[in-house]
Structure 1
Amino acid sequence: MKLDILVFSAHPDDAEVGCGGTILKQVALGDKVGMIDLTRGELGTRGSAEIRATEALEAKRLLGLQVRENLWMRDCFFVIDEAHTMQIIRAVRKYQPRIVLTNAPHDRHPDHGRACKLVTEAAFIAGLPQIKTELDGEPQEAWRPELVLQYIQNTYIKPDILVDITNYWDLKLAAIQAYRSQFYHPDYNEPAVTYISAPDFFLIHEGRAREFGKYINAPFAEGFTCQRFLGVDNLQHLR
């Protein structure tokens, strides 16, 4: 299946928080969007890998994703080496997306910055035909996405682009709250309290979205960074 946008996340729930509204908007515009989680989040303080897998399927449904896969890299311990790079290359060549979205360049959780570097580098290398890969015994075509964007997560990073997600804010929150084990939910009882499971986390998250939104005269927006210059066909489309 060829996708328009392929989203990578170090852990199930990263992308929902970082770019869930943008995913919903692009799906509504007719794009085919898929997601690949690098790890199962098995070292999380709350819940378990099995619980998060079930929650990720519910989030997939809410986001309207075409596919969602997990590469089973080791939570907190995956590294940037040939083996892990080849996993990303195979995924990029499998779905041949025009656009790739991935984790923030640096963030509170070290896996996020490492995933960003891994995916960003692998997306470029995937376009080199001398690197040979196979899928189900068949050789894969070299493929390099036209654009790689990094979604902003916990740590404030000055964005290079902002996306108005106002019409998708409520559904984005629903996709995040699909992870009952990870975020605050009145019906989920677990004694451990983490930074993201505290009720105030949603207020913090809303504050960031409103802050980004004010710069483009929108109630809510998501921010992205890019490692190359971005262009626009028509100045009238800028906000």
Structure 2
Amino acid sequence: MINKVDVLAIGAHPDDVELGCGGTLAKIISEGKRVAILDLTQGELGTRGNLEIRREESQKAAEILGVKHRENLKLKDGFLVNSEQYQLRIVEAIRKYQPEMILCNALDDRHPDHAKAAKLVSDACFLSGLRKIETSIEGDLQAAWKVKHIFHYIQWRELKPDFVIDITGFIDKKIECCMAYASQFYNPTSNEPITPIATKDFYESISYRAQNIGRQTGVEFAEGFNTAQTIALKNFDGIVW
């Protein structure tokens, strides 16, 4: 079974993708690109909410963005490891969706799962292209698939981006899909414990961090990305001066 997409956005936890690259996804979907989201864990160790609530919130966020498919591998939250078992689960997903590009967790971040996921996904991308690694879904043998580009969105830590995507005009959609996770973020009427991402400051930071990255690059709002690849440009026409 193949559900071909242009971009596969991967997050260690539900809401990672929305916070890290929600504006970028909204923009490329508006341009006709096909996008799928893969959550590695269910975020079951999160202080607020529960599995059922977070599952409903993640589906609502996907509907807001207009992604083609969203699935959760249900790996162990808080204990991601770069193991053969986990690598092969992600290889199966990559071969299922056959993306040209993968967007995934930050290379370095406050939550240990984020950097672990970044390495795990990068390694799985390499393995996905090896024909002698056999994987199957529902009994059907999968073909090897090489991902052209792997980029890492920026999360809690303010890493210096290697490049940014102009999301001017899509910041409202980014905030809307993030706030679909009502159990996780700022809500002055909630009786649940306050966490670092459940504060008013964090809610406001979704906008002002994008605005700050945009200010540094000559646009109103932007999202930053890191890459271990060398990027080749056909010409300079796509660069915002």
- Scaled by the length of structure 2, the TM-score of the pair is 0.96
Aligned to 1:118: 120
Deviation at 1:79, TM superposition (A): 1.1
**Match among 105, 110, 116 for residue 108 of structure 1:** 110
Rounded to whole Å, the distance in 2 between the matches of 1:236 and 1:184 is 40
Rounded to whole Å, the distance in 1 between the matches of 2:228 and 2:127 is 15
Give the 3-state SS of the residue equivalent to 2:77 in structure 1: coil
Rounded to whole Å, the distance in 2 between the matches of 1:18 and 1:222 is 8
Deviations along 1:95-129, whole A, 9 cap, x unmatched?
A: 10000010001101000000000001101110000
- The answer for unaligned runs of 5 or more in structure 1 is none
Q: Residues 177 and 185 of structure 1 are in contact (CA less than 8 Å); yes or no, is this contact kept in structure 2?
A: no
- Give structure 1 regions of 4+ aligned residues with deviation exceeding 4 angstroms: none
1:202 counterpart = 2:203: yes
Q: Residues 209 and 221 of structure 1 are in contact (CA less than 8 Å); yes or no, is this contact kept in structure 2?
A: yes
- More deviation in 210-219 or 154-163? 210-219
State the one-letter code of the partner of 2:85.
Answer: A
- The answer for unaligned runs of 5 or more in structure 2 is none
Deviation at 1:233, TM superposition (A): 1.3
Rounded to whole Å, the distance in 2 between the matches of 1:42 and 1:217 is 39
**Match among 48, 51, 60 for residue 49 of structure 1:** 51
Summarize the alignment of residues 219-238 of structure 1 with structure 2, pairs less than 5 Å apart: 219-238=220-239
Deviation at 1:186, TM superposition (A): 4.2
Summarize the alignment of residues 119-138 of structure 1 with structure 2, pairs less than 5 Å apart: 119-138=121-140
Aligned residues: 238
Query: What percentage of residue pairs aligned between the two structures are identical?
Result: 43
**Match among 164, 172, 176 for residue 166 of structure 2:** 164
Q: Residues 175 and 207 of structure 2 are in contact (CA less than 8 Å); yes or no, is this contact kept in structure 1?
A: no
- Scaled by the length of structure 1, the TM-score of the pair is 0.97
Aligned to 2:66: 64
Give the 3-state SS of the residue equivalent to 1:68 in structure 2: strand
